[in-house]
Structure formats: structure tokens, C-alpha cells
Amino acid sequence: MLGLRWTLGIVTGFVTVMILAIAVVGGGFRRSFGASDNPMPTVLTLVAGALVLASLVWPEQRLLMHVVAVLMAVIVVGSLFLMREAVLTTMLGVAYAAAWLSLYFRLLRA
């Protein structure tokens, strides 16, 4: 179970940092063409990444685990809605959420 927590933590940290880097670089390009900047998707992604990382660091916090479990359910439903457009990406989202939910259910039984 500790290996799964480390794997999920590394993947979450890497993806969160990469999304932040893409947002910074993409925001620079967008502003250079005179378009407006909407930071809300980036902020929501960073908050979700921080919540997931916090749930992996402090698994004894039950409320945090339940909040992230709801977030993972939303990720699965959103991925299923997007499956027609990007199958590989959505399957990665479903697989990640399934791995986190398996950790969640193991921790609930312990």
C-alpha cells in the first residue's frame, strides 16, 4: 500500500507541475496575441492536485479522503463523457482514479 501511495504521489506531483508549466507558457503566448487570460482552469487544477497530494500525505484525515473520493468520482464521470474525443487520455484518467479509489477503500477497511 505504501508503494501505491508513493506512485500516486509522484504521478500527481509530476502532472500538477507540468500543467502549471503549460499554463505559464501558454499564458505567455496568449497574452502576446492580445487575448485575455482566464486563470480559473489552472487554479482549479492546482487545487485538485493539492487536495490529492494532501490525501496521500495524510491518509488518516477521513474528511479529506472523502472529499478526494468525490473528486475522483467526478474525474471518472468527466472522463467517460470525454471518451469519444480522446480515448487514451480519458483511460489514463479512469485508471488513475481507479488506483486512488482502490487505495481509498483499502484505507477505509484498515
For the whole model, what pTM was predicted?
Answer: 0.83
Contacting residues for 102 by C-beta, under 8 A, at least 6 apart: 4
Q: Is residue 34 pLDDT above 70, yes or no?
A: no
Give domain limits for the chain.
2-109
> Comparing C-alpha atoms, which of 59, 66, 64, 53 is closest to residue 8?
53
Residue 69 makes CB contacts below 8 A (sequence gap 6+) with 101, 104
**How does pLDDT run across 56-84, given as a tens digit for each residue?**
999 999 999 999 999 999 999 999 999 98
Q: In this model, does residue 110 exceed pLDDT 70?
A: yes
- Residues sharing a CB contact under 8 Å with residue 109, sequence separation 6 or more, in sequence order: none
Helices marked H in 33-86: 40-57, 62-81
HSE-up of 44 (CA within 13 Å, CB side)?
A: 6
Q: Is the pLDDT of residue 40 over 90?
A: no
